[in-house]
Amino acid sequence: MKNVYPIILTPAERGYVVTVPDLHINTEGNDIADAIAMAREAIGLWGVCEEDAGRKIPEPSNLILPHAPNEIATLVDVDFNAYRRAHNNRAVRTNVTLPSWLKDVAEKEGVNFSQVLQEALKEKLNL
């Protein structure tokens, strides 16, 4: 699921404080680019945690936010599915079945079965 959330960047002593009003979360960045990247990261993490807890990720309430003259109101896009894929790299065991002769040849060649399966699945799934 991809969405766009409004954020407010408030200048701080060092960098910017980022507020995501719709989600009631804050983060910070060293400069504007870093603050926006940190906002995307914070929103992605928050959203994935909400989904894992069985809660729905709220839609943005308003894309235009009131803000002080020294603040910057902008938008950040977040793809929660992409965030999950990029950050869920825990290894899991799975059994596969293949002809014994093929297994024997692959082992003699020093093939890493896990690596080959991962590469083949990524290619098959266009990832």
Write the pLDDT tens digit of every residue in 50-61: 999 999 999 888
Tokens of 19: 């507020």
**Higher-scoring residue by pLDDT: 6, 94:** 6
The mean pLDDT of the chain is: 92
pLDDT score for 92 = 78
Number of domains making up the chain: 2
Instruction: Give the span between the Cα atoms of 55 and 65, in whole angstroms.
Output: 25
Neighbours of 23 (CB within 10 A): 17
Q: What angle do CA 55, 26, 82 make, to 5 degrees?
A: 55
The answer on 31 and 13 residing in a single domain is yes
The answer on 7 and 53 residing in a single domain is yes
φ, ψ for residue 64, nearest 5 deg: -115, 120
State pLDDT tens for residues 31-42: 999 999 999 999
Of 1-10, 30-39, 60-69, 115-124, minimum mean pLDDT range: 60-69
Whole-prediction pTM: 0.69
pLDDT score for 31 = 96
The answer on 18 and 76 residing in a single domain is yes
The answer on 101 and 49 residing in a single domain is no
The answer on 104 and 77 residing in a single domain is no
Cα-based distances in Å from 123 to 86, 91, 119: 16, 19, 6
Q: Which domain holds residue 120?
A: 91-127
pLDDT score for 47 = 94
Neighbours of 52 (CB within 10 A): 9
CB 20 within 8 A of CB 73: no
How confident is the model over 71-85, as a mean pLDDT? 92
